[in-house]
Structures are given as structure tokens and as C-alpha cells.
Structure 1
Amino acid sequence: MPLASTNPERLQIGIVGGGQLAAMLVAAGKHESDFWVLDPDPGCPAALAGGQHVPGSPTDRDAIATLSEYASVVTLDLENVAVAGLEDLAAAGVRVIPGPVLLERMTDKLEQKRLLQSLDIPTAPFVATDGREPFDSPWGYPVVQKAARGGYDGRGVFVLHSEGDMDDRLRTDGFLEQYIERRMEVSVMVAAGEGGEVRSYAPVEMVFRETGNILDYLIAPARIENDIAEAAVALANRTIRALGNPGLYGIEMFLTPDNILLVNEISPRAHNSGHYTMEACTYSQFDQQRRIIAGEALLPTTQETPAVMFNLLGLDGWQGDTVIEADDSLEGAADVFIHTYGKTTCNPGRKMGHVTVTADTVDSAITRAMTVREQVHIRGSNPL
């Protein structure tokens, strides 16, 4: 077990889950705070970044409760957690950000949709369903099926294009959602501090892989009209103020061909769509997250340069020990920032890192990023 901190002047922060989001928070805040990372793997990314490893699973209530021995405030790296353990922490006097009551509704995607509906936040029409049995679609086809729990990085979402897809449905509790024709998918990162203070980053444009429904790349800022960008920020701020909990949130939205904005999903944590902020903005989403946890005033969200970020996913056809392949020309490039997450094994489609490219214009950033993405790959060591 780790040793308790001997420096009472430094804030002791617990993180449930030790993945890449936790690692980037540790890297951003380790000069001001100590971090205690609950994860079953002592070699998890957050431990490699400098966090103190606390052995245990994020889905184990008792393991989460042990963070009270080390931390005065706890946040999370992922949503698949034992919320009851967070409730235990709160009962023991540990601050939990966001609060357990909200997290219970956020981590269950059906409850999250119901919450949005109750707050009069525009979202796609939906109906609860039990995927263990065949179902009818109230809207015809295509229709979107979503699992209530366990969905991330494209998992837990299935699009049925016809009744012929019924055999491939998700056999779990969840909901059906009307398929929304969209002009674009956008995301707004929102930092919510104590006392209702809210700061938002500019909307970004998200492009998803056709297979797997995982974010492929994003463009920051989004290529939308100013009034639509302002409307997206206003909707994001209204949504987070209605939730009434300090924290860092990623709000994904659909923008329809008629320029109507619908909230698709809220992530109550740092988000893939906010990674570009580390290079393109004065202060990153992780800088904000640490200040929220510490109860400090929020920072400016100014974007200083256009950027494109793309994910580094494990290449198809390979698995095993992680192999990173990058063109020599990228070494030392002032406009290319390669982040690998320290994961020692790589499977097809696994999120292994990301790359951010900055430029003077959005178009230049897109062109450069499309070139760079052919020059860096991560794969497993063994062919399948």
C-alpha cells in the first residue's frame, strides 16, 4: 500500500481510475497537489505520470472507500464506477467532484436522458427498452440503440438500419433514440466552479469513425457560424448550471441541417474532445479540473491557435506489446504534439494516444493533420 503524504500543505486528490485522463490531470497538477490513483494496475498511465498507486477496482465499493485514507477530495477518470463507494466517501467527509447523486444519474445513460428531459434541455426523442427481447422502433429506421451503462469510446451504441439488424442488437437495458440527421456533431467543454461560476471553451467539430462510433478527429474551433457557436455555448452553460454541481463536463451536441442544437450526451469528467486545449489554449481542461477540485477560481478559456486533434488507435491486424512508429521528420516539429498513454499492450481500436496539430488557420491545421496521421501509428507487436 502507498504511504500517506507527509506534506499537509499540499492538496491530496484521489482519482477513481488510472487511465489517460487521470494521467493528464496528474501531469497538469502534480507540482501543486499530490494524487492517489485507484486502479488495479500498478503500471496504469496515471501512476506512470507520477500518481501514487492505490490498488483496487473502480467498480469495487470497498476499494473506493479506501481513498479516504489518503485524499480529502476525489474525482474520477471514468464513468464505470461504484457510485455507492463515492457516497461512502462523501459520508466520511471527503469532497467528491462531481457529487455522487449527480454521478448516479450521469453514469446511467437512460437516467441522464431523463434528467435532461426533466430540465427541459433539448435532446433527441427516446424511449426505454430492454434489448434482451426484440423491439419495435417508434420512429422506423434507422434508429439508435444505447446501453444504459458501460458505454464508452463507441461501445454501448448500435445503429439499426432495418429490422434485419435486430439479431445484432445490444442485449441489455437501455433506450432507443430517434436517429437525428445532422449537419455536424459538436462538443463544448464546460468548467463549473464553486458558487455557480462557469467558463466554457469554444465549440469544437467532431468527426467520428464510420465503424465503431469512436472519435476520429476534431477541429477546433468548429467551422460554424458565430451565432451558432454562441448558441452552443449558451446551451452548454444552461445545461451545466441546471445540474448545479462543480466539475468539468464535456457536452456533446447534434447540430441538425436546420441549425437546431440537441444535447446528445454529457460526460462528467475531462473529455477526449478537450485534449487540444493542452496546446491550443492558454489553460487546458486539466488545468481547469485541478482548480475546480481545489475550490479555486476558474481560469480563462482563451484559444490561442487553431488546432486539429486525432486519436491514435491500435492498428487493425495487430496485437501484443505496444509498438510506436513515427516518421523521423516529426521529431522536434513545433506544430505537432504527440501524446502516448504508456499502455504496454495494444489491440485493434484501443485508444493508445492522440496527436494535436496547431497552425495559423483551421484549413492549414486540417491539411497538416491529414499528413501527420499517415506518419505516426501505434500497433501490437504480433500480426493477427
Structure 2
Amino acid sequence: MFDQEARLERLLDRHRDAMVVEPVPGRRTLVRRDQILVSGQDAGTAQDLVRRWCDARRDEPGATRLLLRPSAKVDVCELSAQLSGGGRHRTLSVSPNHLVHGQPMWWSGPADRPRPAAPLPAPAAACARRDVTVAVLDTGLAPHPWWEDAAWFREQRDEVAEVLDADLDLELDAQAGHGTFIAGVVLRHAPTTALRALRVIGGDGVGDELAVVRALTWLAGWGRADVVNISLGCHTFDDRPSPVLARAVAALGRRTVVVACAGNTASERPFWPAAMKPVIGVAALDGDDRAWFSNYGWWVDACAPGVDVASTHVWFDGPRPPSGDGDPDRFEGYATWSGTSFAAPAVTGRIAGLAATEGLDAPSAADRVLDPAHGVTLPDLGVIISS
């Protein structure tokens, strides 16, 4: 376990435009300073309303980013609430640009690092009745024997490469390999699946809402993703779903299933996008019980093993010397790791695998996998998905 306040300080030092907000005591989140996001059709109206503070407008895929003058010292959370109508019924789709975090590591949750593991046998390909594609929004994807010869990997290899040591401190970044690990979990359950990686967070596990919206908008235009895995997220300043992110999820359409991790803050506070109605939120199990770090609540749909999960990882040799138990920072393509990040792709893989072997569309496969009539459910954790 790492000192979380010290970790938060390092995060803020690395992301100088980030700031902590706490509209309600004890309910903190992180946002980009002096930025608000607006869904396209509302951008002009929002810009007119903030003209006195607006420094620049950036039209991005899926959202417009309004940059406010730092000297104006605008509270972006208060401004977003005012622009959206201030009540329970929003009139404009406006949100601060929340920072999102990969799970396992989050500055107010458990700090768990991967541990080197012995090689795992590649999953045996099953007979598939149709092709299925899973999009993974994460840190990217490193070459690995499980997929380095696959056509789907060769098409995207360079653009989604994992960044292993961005700060050049000779150590593996805290969440470098996160996307590669998740890819392996998906393929263990759905070995014939083609993956489409999109890099939305860095090796430190941090990104922002705008990057996720961009990726979802690209996927909506691409139109080939059956299932989207999002093993990251955030709490929002008002504990309500960001309308900008919600519109990007909705734009994927009814033929695409979205699965997201429930987060690792050991609370029932909604974690987004997992808590959105169209999204399957996944908590983590430790044996037959909730993993101590896993979020839970009415908004969680399913749970799967999330402690000491074994999967694919990167190749990296850090500066620590070998000990009696081996070399603690020498990774040779495999690792064990804990977090709701790794419970989510188990559900993603089960849906994708069933869709492929039974020739089902993704929503029908998801209905089968999550059907409580044919499984066991736990209060505030949803349907149990076994490994």
C-alpha cells in the first residue's frame, strides 16, 4: 500500500493543469483547471454565456472544449452546474473535464502494482460462428506472443504502443501494461476475438474525460465494435453522470455493449461511466466475497474475480536487484494484478466469447451472460461471473 496523499501530490505535480475539487466534504474528484466540455449542438450557446471568461474554443471529436482565462479564477464545477440548468433537469450538456483513472490505481483507492508471473499458455481458439471485435480503451497494447502475428494487431501496432517509462526514471510507470493485461483477460474468455485498442490514459494511469469522448466518437464512426471495455473512470463533482460522456456512450448505438469497471474506492459512490444506465458496471470478487477495495451499490450489474488475476503483460527490467523470491521488477510478458480493472474484461470476454461461439449479436449475448435467472446474484454486486 502506498501513501495516497503523497501519490496525489505526485499526480498534481505531473499534471500541472489538474486540480482537486470537493464540493461536498469527503467527496473529492479531479478536473482540468479552466476547461469545460460541451456537446456539439450546445457549444454555441455555452460559448455565448461564458464569453466574458472564454479565452479559446477547441472543437474536438464528440465535444467542444472551452478554455477559460486563468486570471478569471472561474470555478468550472459551479459554472458547469449553472450552464446545465442548475436543477435535476439539464438544459445544456456541459461538464468539467474530469480526470479519469485506471483501476487498480487511484489516488484515493488501493495502490496495487503488478507482480511478475510465470508464463501462461495461450488460450486455445474455439470454433466461432461469427467474428467479434472488442474495443479496449486504455494505456495501449504491447507486442505479445499471444497476438503479435494477428492481423488485427499488425494493423494498429505502432499507433497504440504502450509507453513504459514516460518520466525516464528507469522504473515501469505505475500502470504501464494495464491495457496489455486487460487484452489478455479478454482473450482468455474469447480467444477468437479481434481487439481494437485505443490509448486514452498514460502509463501513470491518468487521462481525462475528453480523451474518452474522442475515443468513443471514433468508435461510433468506425461502427465495428461489438463490445467496448473501459477499465477506468472517475467520480464526478456532483455524483451525476457527465452529460457529455453520456452522449458519447449513447452515440455507439444499441448494437454495441459497453462494459466498465466499478472502481476501487471501497464505496457505494457512483463511479462513471460504470454507473450509467446503458453501461454494464463490474465489481471485483475475492473468492466468494466482494474484494475489500471494490466499489458496490445499486448501480453495479455484475461481479467477477479481481484479486491476483494472472494475464499478459509487458517486457521490462527495472533497477531493483533480484531477491530470494526472484526479481520484483523484471517482467517477461506475464503478471498478476488486482483491481476492478481486471474483473471488467472477464465480463467483456464472456460476452464476446458467447457472441462468437453462438453467432449472437452482442446485446443478446450480454443478456444471456447477465441473466439472473440462470446465475447467482449478490446484493450491490449484481450477477456473479465466474472465471
TM-score by length of 1: 0.28
The one of the two structures with greater contact order (alpha-carbon pairs below 8 A, sep at least 6) is: 2
TM-score by length of 2: 0.28
